[in-house]
């Protein structure tokens, strides 16, 4: 029911306005039509009554002489309009009834119902409608005759009805044409008037399609000639105003993002040299020939290990900062098959407790991109499959082609990624167990780098994971 009414009621503003216009005009036409028909009917009836009054029952009075057989024209039809009806009543009973026409016999045969109808006409000199079986609808007046009789004179109503029907037909045609013309012209007019609103809609739709989440956003030009005197102009101005605010906020956000990125890049860059020095000194001290207390030796080893970890972290941060800044990647032909084989060799060496499987197509798979970065991304996925799963886990690396591009999947049957972590797993510093990861050296940057590298290649990366089945899927264009 609701759906039906929704389908019947026009939903667009354009249709609503046009439908409203046509409905109002239809109501106006109806009012004009009914008024003119009623007014004309009143006027014509008034004129008929006048005619009847002025005839004054002359024709009916002449019916008295009907019995005279010698007269040629027994009724006095002179000056009487065609179809004038006359009847004479004596003591409430119709004695004669005739009608004026060309034929010789003017008498009208009356049914009992006709007689009854004639007998019940009030003798007040005013017009009344009656219906006679032979003559149909008549307007009659009744007056008292000279010799105690009642004289009824009538004129037919059908000419009035015909006139009114004709008027109704003409009005129906004229109003119908006017409604159709108004509907068409109104629709065009409304369309024309709402054209600026379409521009507002297009503008809003354009902005809605912009990737506002991050980066530098080029807002579309503000709407021109939005006249504040009109409703649509007000909407346009409000939109311009709002977009101006949004553009301002986005510029400020972009500037702050840029500052942060520069800071991360500069800080990681600046940290590299002192870190290299610390590592160098630690290695030098470890190579010291003389006797070193075991506690000092252990401390030096920790310094060496931690500075190595920190170097890796700083390198990751620097790489992310550079990828964020849109630093162009190398664009060379990369043999993905070779990268996968190398990465798997490293993984086998680092995780001998895992079962490493390979699924490669016959032909080598090549894409255009940065071999070093891609190697790093694949390495990160394999490192995750090794470090976040227990020994004995089966890890399968599969490579295939898709159109001109390539698809790489890394599947493991480990414990899986907690569901609450999955939506943000490609974010920075996102990891399942913060306390444990600090001791295992996990930072939560591995998948962020995979994501940045893959999107830098215009590819996609996603993950599906449940306990016993985790799949990372990378697609790269050719
Ligand atoms: N194959 C996997 N199985 C289970 N959990 C995973 C797997 N891969 C990633 N994770 C979860 O996702 C988190 C984020 O991974 P990511 O590679 O970004 O960081 P990380 O491995 O913790 O640290 P990093 O790679 O920087 O040393 C991990 O901490 C881990 O909880
Ligand atoms: Mg990792």
CB contact burial 131-144 (16+ within 10 A = b; e otherwise): ebeebeebbbbbbe
Strand bridging mode 469-476 / 405-412 = antiparallel
How many Å separate Cα 373 from the centre of its chain? 44
With beta carbons less than 8 A apart as the criterion, state whether 29 and 179 touch: yes
* Tens digit of each residue's pLDDT, the chain (478 residues): 566 666 666 678 888 899 999 999 999 999 999 999 999 999 999 999 998 888 777 777 777 765 444 444 455 666 677 888 888 888 888 888 888 877 666 677 888 888 999 989 998 888 899 988 878 899 999 988 877 888 898 999 999 999 999 999 999 999 999 999 999 999 999 888 888 888 888 888 988 888 887 778 888 888 887 778 888 888 888 989 999 999 999 999 999 988 988 898 899 999 999 999 999 999 999 998 888 899 999 999 999 999 999 999 999 999 998 888 888 888 999 999 999 999 999 999 999 999 999 999 999 999 999 999 999 999 999 999 999 999 999 999 999 999 889 999 999 999 999 999 999 999 998 888 755 555 566 889 999 999 999 999 999 999 999 999 999 999 999 8
332-476: CATH, from 3.40.630.30, 3.30.565.10, 3.30.450.90, 3.20.20.210: 3.30.565.10
With CA atoms as reference, report the closest residue to 410 among 448, 357, 368.
Answer: 357
Residue with tokens 């008037």: 193
Who's near 466: CB < 8 A, 6+ residues apart? 416
- Cα of 263 vs centre of ligand 2, distance in Å, is 24
- Cα of 370 vs centre of ligand 1, distance in Å, is 23
Q: Please give the radius of gyration of the chain, using alpha carbons only, rounded to the nearest integer.
A: 52
Structure tokens at 388: 């976040």
Q: Can you tell me the distance from the alpha carbon of 210 to that of 90, in angstroms, rounded to the nearest whole number? A: 99
Tens digits of residue pLDDT in 11-63? 788 888 999 999 999 999 999 999 999 999 999 999 999 988 887 777 777 77
pLDDT at position 70 is 46
Give phi and psi for 412, each to the nearest 5: -135, 160
Structure tokens at 196: 């600026």
What is the CATH number assigned to the segment(s) 59-156? 3.30.450
Q: Is the dihedral of CA 282, 350, 429, 368 positive or negative?
A: positive
Tens digits of residue pLDDT in 217-231? 888 888 887 778 888
Structure tokens at 132: 């006679």
With beta carbons less than 8 A apart as the criterion, state whether 351 and 381 touch: no
Nearest bound ligand to CA 430? 1
Q: Is the dihedral of CA 119, 123, 125, 127 positive or negative?
A: negative
Nearest CA to ligand 1 atom 8: 384
pLDDT at position 67 is 44
- Cα of 319 vs centre of ligand 2, distance in Å, is 15
- Cα of 421 vs centre of ligand 1, distance in Å, is 10
Residue with tokens 């399609």: 209
With beta carbons less than 8 A apart as the criterion, state whether 381 and 391 touch: no
Is residue 228 packed enough to be buried (19+ CB in 10 Å), middle (13-18) or exposed (0-12)? exposed
CB contact burial 286-316 (16+ within 10 A = b; e otherwise): eeeeeeeeeeeeeebeebbeebeebbebbbb
Who's near 254: CB < 8 A, 6+ residues apart? 215, 216, 217
**Residue 253: Cβ within 10 Å count:** 15
Q: Is 359 helix (H, G, I), strand (E, B) or coil?
A: strand
pLDDT at position 77 is 64
> For the chain, how are helix, strand and coil distributed in percent, rounded to 5?
55, 15, 30
What is the CATH number assigned to the segment(s) 209-327? 1.10.287.130
Sequential DSSP letters for 9-57: S--SHHHHHHHHHHHHHHHHHHHHHHHHHHHHHHHHHHHHHHHHHHHTT
pLDDT at position 2 is 60
Ligand 1 site residues, Cβ closer than 6 angstroms: 380, 384-385, 388-389, 412, 414, 416-417, 425, 430-432, 437, 442-448, 470
Nearest CA to ligand 1 atom 22: 444
How many Å separate Cα 49 from the centre of its chain? 64
Beta bridge partner(s), residue 460: 475
Is residue 4 packed enough to be buried (19+ CB in 10 Å), middle (13-18) or exposed (0-12)? exposed
pLDDT at position 251 is 92
- Cα of 4 vs centre of ligand 1, distance in Å, is 54
Q: Can you tell me the distance from the alpha carbon of 199 to that of 205, in angstroms, rounded to the nearest whole number? A: 10
What are the boundaries of each domain within the chain?
1-55+157-193, 59-156, 209-327, 332-476
Question: Hey, which of 388, 423, 439, 461 would you mutate to test ligand 1's pocket, going by the most ligand atoms within 8 Å of its Cβ?
Answer: 388
Q: Can you tell me the distance from the alpha carbon of 59 to that of 96, in angstroms, rounded to the nearest whole number? A: 11
How many residues can be counted in the chain?
478
Kind plus residue range of the DSSP H or E element containing 252? helix 231-286
What angle, 0 to 180 degrees and rounded to 10, lies between the N-to-C axes of helices 195-209 and 231-286? Answer: 10
Q: Can you tell me the distance from the alpha carbon of 174 to that of 176, in angstroms, rounded to the nearest whole number? A: 5
With beta carbons less than 8 A apart as the criterion, state whether 473 and 461 touch: yes
Atom of ligand 1 nearest to the CA of 463: 8
Nearest CA to ligand 1 atom 1: 385
């Amino acid at each position: 029911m609701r759906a039906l009414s929704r389908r019947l009621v026009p939903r667009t503003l354009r249709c609503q306005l046009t439908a409203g216009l046509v409905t109002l005009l239809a109501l106006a036409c109806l009012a004009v039509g009914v008024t003119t028909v009623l007014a004309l009917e009143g006027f014509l009836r008034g004129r008929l009554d006048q005619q009847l009054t002025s005839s004054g029952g002359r024709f009916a009075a002449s019916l008295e002489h009907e019995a005279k057989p010698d007269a040629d024209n027994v009724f006095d039809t002179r000056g009487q309009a065609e179809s004038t009806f006359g009847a004479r009543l004596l003591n409430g009973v119709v004695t004669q009834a005739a009608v004026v026409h060309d034929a010789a016999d003017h008498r009208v045969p009356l049914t009992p119902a006709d007689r009854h109808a004639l007998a019940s006409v009030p003798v007040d000199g005013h017009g009344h409608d009656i219906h006679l079986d032979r003559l149909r609808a008549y307007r009659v007046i009744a007056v008292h005759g000279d010799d105690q009789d009642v004289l009824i004179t009538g004129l037919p109503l059908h000419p009035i009805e015909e006139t009114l029907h004709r008027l109704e037909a003409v009005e129906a045609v004229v109003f119908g044409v006017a409604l159709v013309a108004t509907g068409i012209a109104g629709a065009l007019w409304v369309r024309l008037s709402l054209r600026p609103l379409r521009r507002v809609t297009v503008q809003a739709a354009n902005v809605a399609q912009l990737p506002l989440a991050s980066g530098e956003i080029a807002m579309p030009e503000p709407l021109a000639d939005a006249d504040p005197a009109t409703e649509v102009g007000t909407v346009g101005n409000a939109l311009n105003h709002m977009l101006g605010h949004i553009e301002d906020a986005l510029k400020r956000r972009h500037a702050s993002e840029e500052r942060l990125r520069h800071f991360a890049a500069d800080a990681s860059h600046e940290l590299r040299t002192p870190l290299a020095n610390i590592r160098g000194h630690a290695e030098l001290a470890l190579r010291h020939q003389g006797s070193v207390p075991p506690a000092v030796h252990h401390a030096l080893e920790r310094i060496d290990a931690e500075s190595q970890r920190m170097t890796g972290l700083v390198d990751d941060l620097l790489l992310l900062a550079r990828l964020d800044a849109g630093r162009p990647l190398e664009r060379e032909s990369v043999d993905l098959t070779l990268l996968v084989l190398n990465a798997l060799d490293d993984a086998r060496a680092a995780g001998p407790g895992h079962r490493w499987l390979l699924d490669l197509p016959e032909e080598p798979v090549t894409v255009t991109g940065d071999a070093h970065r891609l190697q790093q991304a694949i390495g990160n996925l394999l490192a995750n499959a090794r470090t976040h799963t227990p020994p004995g886990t089966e890890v399968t690396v599969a490579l295939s082609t898709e159109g001109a591009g390539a698809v790489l999947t890394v599947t493991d049957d480990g414990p899986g990624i907690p569901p609450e972590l999955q939506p943000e797993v490609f974010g920075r510093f996102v990891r399942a167990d913060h306390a444990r990861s600090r001791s295992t050296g996990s930072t939560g940057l591995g998948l962020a780098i995979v994501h940045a590298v893959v999107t830098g290649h215009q590819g996609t990366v996603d993950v599906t994971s449940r306990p016993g089945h985790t799949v990372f899927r990378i697609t790269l264009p050719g």
